[in-house]
Structure 1
C-alpha cells in the first residue's frame, strides 16, 4: 500500500501521542505499537529515534544528557522492543486536585443520568480518566435524582414518541388544575426547565414550567399535528395587567438576573443597593425568586409581599430546628 509522506506537523502530533502511550505501557514491542496506532512498524521506529533526540533545554539553554529522552537502545536494536528509561517535562504537567476531580466527576454523573445519555460509554471513560489522573483519590460523591429530573425524563420520552402527557399544574396565581397536553418542545432558562405544549384544556399553546408540574403521566394517546406551532418566546416570563408589583433592593451585580421581571427601567440607589420594582404573577413565585438569589435581594414593599417571604423563610428554619424560626420581623 502506498503511503503519503507525513507532514512535519503530523509527525509532531503522532510523537506527542506516542510518548504517553509508551510511558503507560512501560515495555512494548514495535509491532504492538504499530498495530495500536494503525501505522507501519518503520514509522514507529522513526518516531522512537525522534523521541531520543527530543527534550527540554536546561537553564543554560543547551541540551545536557539529562535534558533529553533516553531509551534502552540494546532492547530497541536487538529485540525491537521500546523502553523509555528517562523522560523529561512529563511530570511537570499540571494535575487536578482531588476536590477538582470530584466536582467534575459529580457533573458527569449528573449528565450520565439524563435519559439521552444513559449507557454513554464516553462519559464513563472520562470519569475513569479523571479518577486516575487526579493528584489524589477523589472523594466519592453521589448525585441524587430529583423530581424534576424524573419529570424531564417522562417529557423527553413523550416528545420522542409523540405521546400526550397528563399532569397537575399550579399556575401563576396558585390555582391547581389537571391538564392534558401535547408536548412539542423542551427548553431551559438558567436553572429552570420549560415545556411548550398544546393544552387541550385551553385549546391553545402554552409554556409550562417543569417545577410547577406534578403527577406527570405518559399516555398512549398520540399528539396532533403541530407543525404550525408558534416559536418559543425569548422571554419565558411575560407580564400581564394582573401582575403584582413588588419593590426590592438588589445587589448591583445581580440586577441583570432580574431583567425579565422589571416593571420599568427606573432605579434608585439606597445604601449601596439598587431599588427597583418587579412584577410577579403571585407572591408564591416571589419566594422562589428571592431564594434563588440568597443575600442579594431584599423585599421592601408591599407589606404583604414582605410577610409572605418572611413566613416562608421561617417555615424553612423550623424544619431544621434553627434559632430564629419562631420570631422575627415580617421583613
Structure 2
C-alpha cells in the first residue's frame, strides 16, 4: 500500500521545505531518515524524495555545464541504509558571512541572554551560537559572560514564584538602613542593567519594589503566598508612589524630561522657563533624590523646597571634597 504524503509537499510549500532541509543537513553531518522525518513532521518517503532532488541540484559552471563539484553530492549508499550524508554543498560558501569579530559579539550577547532566567529555551540559544561559530568567515574569539550575584538571586526568586512561596531577605534601602523583609514575589523586571523585584510586602501590607542588588541572604520561605500576581494591581511604571512621598520642584532640560517620567506625578504642571521645563517629581526621601540627580548633572536643578536643595548641595560638596583629599 502506498504511503500517504502529507500536505507539507504541496507544490507551493516544496521550495520552502527544501530551503529549510539544506541548512538542517549542514548542521547534522550524519542524520537518519527517521530523525529528519520526525524533525519536519513529514513521512520518511518524502524525506527520501527531497534528498534525491537535492542530489540533482546545483549551480552550473562557466561553461553552463554541470561538472564535478557543481552538484550537491549525496552518499546514496548511506541513504539506502537509512542515513542522510551530504558530502558536497554547492554555493553555500558564496553567501556573505559574519566576520570573526561580528560573530564573537553576537555570541557574547547570546551567552548573556541564555543566563537570564526568563530564557528557558537555552538549547535553542546554544544551537544558534554553534551556527554563528561555524558560519563565520574565521574562528570567532572565545568569549564568556560571567554570571553575577543578581543572576543567582533572580533564579531563586523565580523558583519561589513557581512554587508559590514567600521569600525572606535582608534589604538595604537608599538611606543605608538594613532590615529583614518578607515578600510575596509577584514580578521580576529589569531596567537597563538593574533587576527589580515587585512583590507584596507582608509588613506594610502593600506592593513594593526592591532593587535586587541591594538584597542579601535571600531564602525561600516555607510559608505560601496569599496574593496571586493577577490579584494585585501593578502599574506599568516600575516606581509606585505613596502618600508619604516628598514632592520636589525641579527644572530640567526638555530633552531629559522623559528620563523622569516615572517620578513625575500624574497631572503635574509643566511650564517652560528659559528653555527648561519646570515640573515636580515624587521621591520617597531625599537620599533617593540625590541618587536620581546623580546621573543628570548639568541638565536638572532642584528649585524647592529648601531642604531638598540643601540635601543635594551638601551631597555634591561631600563628593567634591573626596577628590580634593
Give the structure 1 partner of residue 310 of structure 2. 304
SS in 1 for 2:324: coil
Q: Work out whether 1:268 is the aligned partner of 2:272.
A: yes
Match of 2:108 among 106, 109, 115: 106
Match of 2:180 among 178, 181, 186: 178
Q: Is the 8 A contact 1:75 1:82 kept in 2?
A: yes
Give the structure 2 partner of residue 159 of structure 1. 161
Give the structure 2 partner of residue 326 of structure 1. 324
Superposed, 1:177-326 pairs within 5 Å as: 177-181=179-183, 183-188=184-189, 190-191=191-192, 192-202=194-204, 204-211=205-212, 213-227=214-228, 229-239=231-241, 240=243, 242-250=245-253, 252=255, 254-263=256-265, 264-268=268-272, 270=274, 274=277, 276-290=279-293, 297-301=299-303, 303-307=309-313, 310=316, 314=320, 325-326=323-324
Give the superposition deviation at 1:166. 1.8
Give the structure 2 partner of residue 321 of structure 1. none
Could you list the per-position Cα deviations for residues 3-55 of structure 1 after superposition, in whole angstroms to 9, with x for gaps in the alignment?
247222322123323444666789x8xxx775563343344223433x24x67
Q: Work out whether 1:11 is the aligned partner of 2:14.
A: yes
Counterparts of 1:234 and 1:23, CA distance in 2 = 45
Superposed, 1:85-164 pairs within 5 Å as: 87-88=90-91, 90-115=92-117, 120-164=122-166
- Gaps of at least 5 residues in structure 1 are 319-324
TM-score (norm 2): 0.70
Superposed, 1:21-100 pairs within 5 Å as: 34=33, 37-38=36-37, 39-40=44-45, 41-49=48-56, 51-52=57-58, 64-65=64-65, 70-71=70-71, 84=88, 87-88=90-91, 90-100=92-102
Could you list the per-position Cα deviations for residues 119-167 of structure 1 after superposition, in whole angstroms to 9, with x for gaps in the alignment?
9322222222222223343333332333322322222222223333222
Counterparts of 1:311 and 1:280, CA distance in 2 = 21
Q: Is the 8 A contact 1:72 1:82 kept in 2?
A: yes
Could you list the per-position Cα deviations for residues 204-256 of structure 1 after superposition, in whole angstroms to 9, with x for gaps in the alignment?
1322322474223324422243258422222332344541415243361x432
111 and 220 in structure 1: CA distance in 2 versus 1, 3 angstrom threshold: same
96 and 47 in structure 1: CA distance in 2 versus 1, 3 angstrom threshold: closer
Counterparts of 1:73 and 1:198, CA distance in 2 = 63
97 and 219 in structure 1: CA distance in 2 versus 1, 3 angstrom threshold: same
RMSD: 4.3
75 and 212 in structure 1: CA distance in 2 versus 1, 3 angstrom threshold: closer
Give the structure 2 partner of residue 322 of structure 1. none
149 and 269 in structure 1: CA distance in 2 versus 1, 3 angstrom threshold: farther
Counterparts of 1:72 and 1:171, CA distance in 2 = 65
Counterparts of 1:135 and 1:299, CA distance in 2 = 52
Q: Is the 8 A contact 1:299 1:306 kept in 2?
A: no
SS in 2 for 1:234: coil
